[in-house]
Chain A
Amino acid sequence: MNTFAKRAGLLSLAVFSAMPVMAQKTASQGIDEYRAMLADGNPAELFEAKGEDLWKKLRGPKNASLEKCDLGKGPGVVKGAFVELPRFFADTQRVQDLESRLVTCMEGLQGFDGAEIAKTPFGQGEQNNVTALATWIASESKGQRFNLSQNHQQEKTFYEVGKRLFYQRGGTHDFSCASCHGEQGKRIRLQDLPMLSKSPGDGVGFAAWPAYRVSNGQMWGMQLRLNDCYRQQRFPYPGFGSDATIALSTFLGVNAKGAISVAPALKR
């Protein structure tokens, strides 16, 4: 610290009563305290309850429930399914994430038009139901460790494609996912950024979504999380359940191997 900076520091201490460095420390401690105060009573619980109800309810043109939906561990198995997705499904011959798989089930079992749901904007109509279902299904794997399969060739391929997407720079700002999530210990404004090119640890990044966003009072699944990342990257719009979003999820999910899921979480 040079003399001037020292003097400036002392001056600001005298005038404003708080040195910038101190304010800094207080800010991050203060935010931890704020988050702790909100931890009890996550509104995501409202969506969990709704999702569980939707799973069991007879709905759609076929007036059926989703209780026979195969999320990868056999028809109707919900517990533990979330921490193994995305994965390859033989019936669709595709790698699918939780939300695109739910749409497949809503189409096959209940008779909904899957393409119509995929076209519906987030936060409207059946998309709200997909989010609530994903929230409940995620909650049923709370505390379990991520363990995505890389056995099928398409799963390996999607990981490789996802890695390329993670590092793909573009848009007006040259941003890639890695611009913000490629290094340890960085932040945007006051928000800590998880490093996602390897496991960011328990309950961080991929292991924290779906999450309730306090800033807008909305429940977000991984599809919307990625969609809004791409929006802020100034990229064009990624289709709901598109291969790009699923490949990227595969990359993030495989990297998160061993991390404990806390979803549904509470986020800024």
Chain B
Amino acid sequence: MHMKKTTHALAAMAAFAFLVAGCASGPTVAELDALTDRIVKASFRTQGIANVERVTATDETNRACSEADASGLRLDEKTAKAIEEANFKSIQWPSDGKFVGDWKQGEVIAQNGRGLTWTDDAKMANGGNCYNCHQIDQKEISYGTIGPSLYNFGKLRGVTDVNSPEAKAMLEYTWGKVWNAKAYNACSNMPRAGHMGILTEAQVRHVVGLLLDPQSPVNQ
């Protein structure tokens, strides 16, 4: 198994060495991209529920954003817009029209950072990983700072009654953002919780509740 892999990788290197033999300036960007793909294929394997396709068959959004990140250049506006539109189209809106769930369950989901690694069980409920990157309820002092603070999320956006017509736009935005963050910012660092099957529809509803319910500690 390992021998085969080593051979494969070595073959890739040998092919590469041949490629650059007559080329003093080193490999081109395209050659390096192709070599990276070969190395990824030779290096990663499926383990538990983490299939190798998670890295060999990523979607256009990840492909374009990875390339932009590595080059140090921002995605051009046209591509960014196309990515956002495609992701927006894929958002599944609440099947029963209910956007806001139980903030208490939302807090548990926000605290939970588990699920979908190769050591996790497919049957267990996944966490939302929210506190890893965001401040949410001020009582929790162990929060990350990769994303902005979400404390007072609903309050700052003027949501006083989730059933009022004025709140509708904010309910939709919050749902959409949690479901598929790339619909609003093409190369956002935020996972696409609904789109990628990290959270279920019911879980997304509870997280939206945590953020928008005026009773939630987030909005106190």
Contacts and interface: CB of A to CB of B under 8 A. Distances in A.
Interface residues of B, number: 63
Interface string B17-34: 100100000110000110
B16 A157 contact: yes
A168 B66 contact: yes
Contacts of B47: 236-237
B132 A244 contact: no
Contacts, number: 174
Contacts of A267: none
Of A180, A189, A234, most B-chain CB atoms within 10 Å: A234
Interface residues of A, number: 60
Nearest to A19: B138
Contact of A93 (B13, B50, B58): B13
A215 interface: no
Contacts of A168: 36, 40, 55, 66, 70
A170 B54 contact: yes
Nearest to A5: B152
Given A94-B10, A190-B142, A234 B116 contact: yes
A3 interface: no
Nearest to B37: A164
A237 B46 contact: yes
A54 interface: no
A236 B42 contact: no
17 contacts: A20-B138, A20-B141, A156-B26, A164-B32, A164-B36, A169-B62, A169-B66, A169-B69, A171-B50, A173-B129, A174-B65, A193-B146, A236-B51, A237-B47, A239-B44, A242-B42, A244-B39
Given A157-B27, A173-B116, 12 more contacts: A154-B13, A167-B70, A168-B36, A170-B55, A171-B116, A173-B191, A174-B192, A188-B146, A189-B144, A190-B141, A190-B143, A237-B118
